[in-house]
Structure 1
Amino acid sequence: MTPFMRSNRAVSKADIDEATALKEVSVGTSQVMNYLTQQAGGYHNVGFTHKDLYNALQRGKAKEIVDGDVNALIAYFDYKKHDDPGFFVTYSVDESGALHNLIWSDSTSRSDYICFSDVIAFDTTYKDNLNGRPIMPIVGVNHHHNTIVFATAIIAYETSQSFEWVLQNFLEAMMKKSPISVVTYGDRAMQRAIKSVIPSAKHRLCSWHISCNAQANIGDPKFTAVFSKCMVSWWTTDEFDIQWHSVVLEFNVEKHPWVIEKGNTRHL
């Protein structure tokens, strides 16, 4: 595992150039990673992870953002602040002056948060936005069981530092009021950021994402259905462990890497 310690991982300029060329002809990042892995003779020889490659490509995109783009965006938000005195926006730039992280929330969203802040949810799986960066809607549920947006962030990279920046500024926008529970899709960097910035909050995983991952990894709709039912049922910890063990044995997946990983991380 030594090659995959953070200190030993790096994406070379040659790999970045090749990946960039492939991306320009609409090859997805996962396919690029598979190609580079095959070229290197296997995953253990490539020298970096999928997320390392993604972040390296994002750094290249950030350099392409010109001052005019940033100025236009900030000018728009300045206009919004005049139109809505309760509009909140803040952003950061990198050493070259390129837009780094950004978060905003209007007065209605901030008022909603005061009333419905018990549980908030994050999802950075949306990539179709400003220069392909992850967009992170921060949402909740109101008394009509409707989804409401508390704030929206655009981040440079999916790192603990970026997530911490978002959480700190989100709390600043919401008068330092912390949520009771936070729901995410399981990103480890986000998990570390939550523990750092909102240590009192209970962290929970999104059941929908887990069910999707179960189907993607196991590939058996019957397992996914039984697993999902097990996951959302009202069990004590001991009852859940018994039921989990029963489901795993029933479908003969006790040695599957995804099942082992989920079993080991069921307690956040």
Structure 2
Amino acid sequence: MFYRDYARLAGFSLRTARTSKETNHWVCSREGWHEGKRGEEPHKTEKGSKRCGCPAYVKVKHDKKQGLWYFDHVQQAHNHKLEPSHRMTRYMHAHKNMEEGICDIFNIMTRNGVLHQAAFNVMTDLYDGRHMWGFTEKDIKNMKAEKVREERDDDLNKLLQFFRKCKENNEHFYWDVDAEPKTGVVRNIFWSHASQRAEYRDFGDVITFDTTHKTNSRRMPLAMFVGANNNLKNVTFGQALIGDESTGSFRWLFDTFKSCMGGRQPHVILTDEDPAMRQAIKVVFDKTHHRNCRWHILRPWEFELDQLYTQHKDMKLKEKLESLINYPLGPTQLEVEWNRLVDECGIAEHPAIKALWGKKGRGVFQLTSRGCTVAE
């Protein structure tokens, strides 16, 4: 386009102001002033905006009879300094040249596990330096982010189509989606097969809820509702992909799970120590006893406990402590035996010991080793 080439040579960027079948109106990219978000306090300086009310613009019209476009109005004067050098104009938005081949190379390297900086260095060598590029590193990041969004949307559509087919084949298949009201962006997805719902009716008294499976390529935690059958084999009652681990997401998920299971709440639910999860459980599973999985409670103190076990090996601290945890006693007797053990070893004030005793009501001594292991 002539005017775009002129703008590049003159040293400014441009953008489309208005367009129709018969008229096109282009302005300097620095036309107008920065407009803050509605309700936003005005700032003295807008660091992110270069608009300065530049009056330069052109308006072209279409002559239907001759089939030609002509300049109807032209305002060439700018109120800011122009940058006619190629070193500056090639990075202006209207003049960036992001070749399709470059995008393909970056995407190939990304798919094969090449880190962003390494891929960037490879492209620098291929193009004999970054000064030969018509784009910036930020453009590459934006391009990759857009590619991820496109792939994610495609995968999501395929998943929803699969769920619809499952529902057609079996009316007892259950699925639901939590979407942003304004944008329609999917935040959370839950599904449960007919067989899983049947398993919950038989074995749903004690369940564990786990979000530690975060290795999927979409970086969405896979959440699972799991229990144990009468043979102490794990059974899954439902699963979900959650966009974040916020109280809002957990509340939606727990409400959906409860609806899926006909409103029946479990007697006990085991989870990690996530505070957002705890808040959601209080609201949704108000008749359920919430306990933390022993593994999640002990895990942060593994190193310290191993040190204590080594230091007090002759007193068999490990065997005695695990016996108290795995085979809990009544509250009074447990306190007596606990105090006796920590006093004998002189570890009553050790941070790990104090932390475990402080969480005695949240799961450490609440379940037998056998039951907790199956749930975990």
TM-score, with length taken from structure 1: 0.70
Residue 195 in structure 1 maps to residue 195 in structure 2 = no
Q: Which has the larger radius of gyration?
A: 2
Report how far residue 142 of structure 1 moved.
0.9
Residue 171 in structure 1 maps to residue 171 in structure 2 = no
Which of 113, 120, 128 is matched with 2:215 structurally?
128
Residue 245 in structure 1 maps to residue 245 in structure 2 = no
Residue 265 in structure 1 maps to residue 349 in structure 2 = no
Structure 1 residues 215 and 68: CA distance shift in structure 2, 3 A: same
Matches within 5 A, 1:33-72: 64-66=148-150, 67-72=153-158
Structure 1 residues 97 and 225: CA distance shift in structure 2, 3 A: farther
Q: For 1:158 and 1:253, how far apart are their aligned partners in 2?
A: 36
Q: Is the partner of 2:208 in helix, strand or coil?
A: strand
Q: For 1:211 and 1:261, how far apart are their aligned partners in 2?
A: 10
**Larger strand share, 1 or 2:** 2
Q: For 2:286 and 2:147, how far apart are their aligned partners in 1?
A: 34
TM-score, with length taken from structure 2: 0.51
Q: For 1:105 and 1:209, how far apart are their aligned partners in 2?
A: 26
Q: Is the partner of 2:212 in helix, strand or coil?
A: coil
Decide which moves more: 258-267 or 195-204. 258-267
Structure 1 residues 155 and 221: CA distance shift in structure 2, 3 A: farther
Give 5+ residue unaligned stretches, structure 1. Answer: 1-23, 27-60
**Larger helix share, 1 or 2:** 1
Q: For 1:112 and 1:232, how far apart are their aligned partners in 2?
A: 27
Decide which moves more: 228-237 or 91-100. 91-100
Residue 82 in structure 1 maps to residue 168 in structure 2 = yes
Deviations 1:16-52 (A, max 9, x none): xxxxxxxx949xxxxxxxxxxxxxxxxxxxxxxxxxx
Residue 214 in structure 1 maps to residue 308 in structure 2 = no
Which of 227, 233, 236 is matched with 1:140 structurally?
227
Instruction: Give the residue type in structure 2 aligned to 1:89.
Output: W
Q: For 1:118 and 1:215, how far apart are their aligned partners in 2?
A: 30
Q: Which position in structure 2 is the counterpart of 1:111?
A: 198
Q: For 1:253 and 1:175, how far apart are their aligned partners in 2?
A: 49
Deviations 1:104-130 (A, max 9, x none): 100000011111111111111111125
Structure 1 residues 206 and 141: CA distance shift in structure 2, 3 A: same
**Number of equivalent positions:** 212
Instruction: Give the residue type in structure 1 aligned to 2:287.
Output: S
Decide which moves more: 245-254 or 75-84. 245-254
| Aligned residues of 1:214 and 1:224 also touching (Cα < 8 A) | no
Residue 91 in structure 1 maps to residue 177 in structure 2 = yes
Give 5+ residue unaligned stretches, structure 2. Answer: 1-113, 117-144, 310-316, 363-376
Q: For 2:344 and 2:304, how far apart are their aligned partners in 1?
A: 17
Q: Is the partner of 1:239 in helix, strand or coil?
A: helix
Structure 1 residues 162 and 253: CA distance shift in structure 2, 3 A: farther
| Aligned residues of 1:120 and 1:183 also touching (Cα < 8 A) | yes
Instruction: Give the residue type in structure 2 aligned to 1:74.
Output: L
Report how far residue 62 of structure 1 moved.
11
